[in-house]
Amino acid sequence: MNSRLIIEPARFQGQPGFELRIRDSRITVQEFLDELNQSYLKMDWPRLWPQNRVGCEGCDLCCQEPLPVTSVDVMQIREALGIDQLEVFRYLWVELQGPAVDITLRRRGAKCIFLNSRGKCRIYARRPFACQTYLCCQTSPNFENLRSQIINSGMDELVRCSLAAYNKAGRPFPVNRSQNPKLNPHHWPKGYFTGKTSYQQLRLARVLSFDLWRKMLLLK
Ligand code: SF4
Ligand code: SF4
């Protein structure tokens, strides 16, 4: 039993996975991640992908997927590499589709740019939220919504502050691929992620919608 989270095996569509509930109404995103990471180490049900694997050690398959990033993820990558707000875009990939902006980790060939030749993550201790919360087994719709809401809020702030930084530097925002782009800086107002440099500064209850928070919080 965890102190702040309850993570229990469950079956979804006949496949083994997990259900997650929250017991601490004041939990921060970092505390959520810490408990989740500890719990992952103890989970021993088979992964879906690759089939029948138990545990992640020695596997890097999910590092070959597009990994979305938040403003806090990018701050942590910058700290790990000692680089500034503009330089970090060498490690990111930006796509525009109409008014929408999607920022993911850049890939080298099929694999994440941070994966080394031995199949290990070079920034493992500071890997993004999306990496830390991905496990290739079935999860509940609430857990998937939680991931989406945090990533979407954090990416909105990443777009907002990056547009401002490039504008201030008098340089064009770097776009790697676009389709009918309609980039408008006014689409990204300041939000709860603004000014936050770590997940410890973010309360989960403030990031999630009221409806989702109410479903996930297990009142005593
Ligand atoms: S979560 Fe990723 S690293 Fe772990 S077993 Fe699944 S594909 Fe491999
Ligand atoms: S940052 Fe690390 S864990 Fe995340 S996709 Fe890249 S190599 Fe994998």
Interatomic CA distance for residues 157 and 13, integer angstroms: 35
- Residue 45 is predicted with a pLDDT of 75
CB atoms within 10 A of CB 75: 19
- Distance from the alpha carbon of residue 60 to the mean position of ligand 1, in angstroms: 6
pLDDT in tens, 37-85: 998 888 777 788 887 788 888 889 999 999 999 999 999 999 999 999 9
Q: Is 53 near ligand 1, meaning CB less than 6 Å away?
A: yes
CB atoms within 10 A of CB 80: 15
Q: Is 127 near ligand 1, meaning CB less than 6 Å away?
A: no
Interatomic CA distance for residues 215 and 144, integer angstroms: 13
- Residue 220 is predicted with a pLDDT of 60
| Distances 136 to 73, 83, 94 between C-alpha atoms, Å | 21, 32, 25
- Distance from the alpha carbon of residue 121 to the mean position of ligand 2, in angstroms: 5
Determine which residue's CA is closest to atom 5 belonging to ligand 1: 56
Region 180-198 average pLDDT: 94
Q: Tokens 């004041």 label which residue?
A: 26
- Mean pLDDT over each residue of the chain, to the nearest integer: 93
| Closest ligand 1 atom number to CA of residue 60 | 3
Least confident of 101-105, 138-142, 151-155, 216-220: 216-220
Ligand nearest to the CA of 49: 1
pLDDT in tens, 8-35: 888 888 888 889 999 999 999 999 999 9
- Distance from the alpha carbon of residue 218 to the mean position of ligand 1, in angstroms: 29
Q: Is 61 near ligand 1, meaning CB less than 6 Å away?
A: yes
CA-based angle 35:211:213, to the nearest 5?
15
pLDDT in tens, 143-170: 999 999 999 999 999 999 999 999 999 9
- Distance from the alpha carbon of residue 219 to the mean position of ligand 1, in angstroms: 32
Interatomic CA distance for residues 19 and 56, integer angstroms: 19
Backbone phi and psi for residue 89, each to the nearest 5 degrees, phi listed first: -70, -10
Q: How confident is the model at residue 109 (pLDDT cuts 50, 70, 90)?
A: very high
- Residue 47 is predicted with a pLDDT of 82
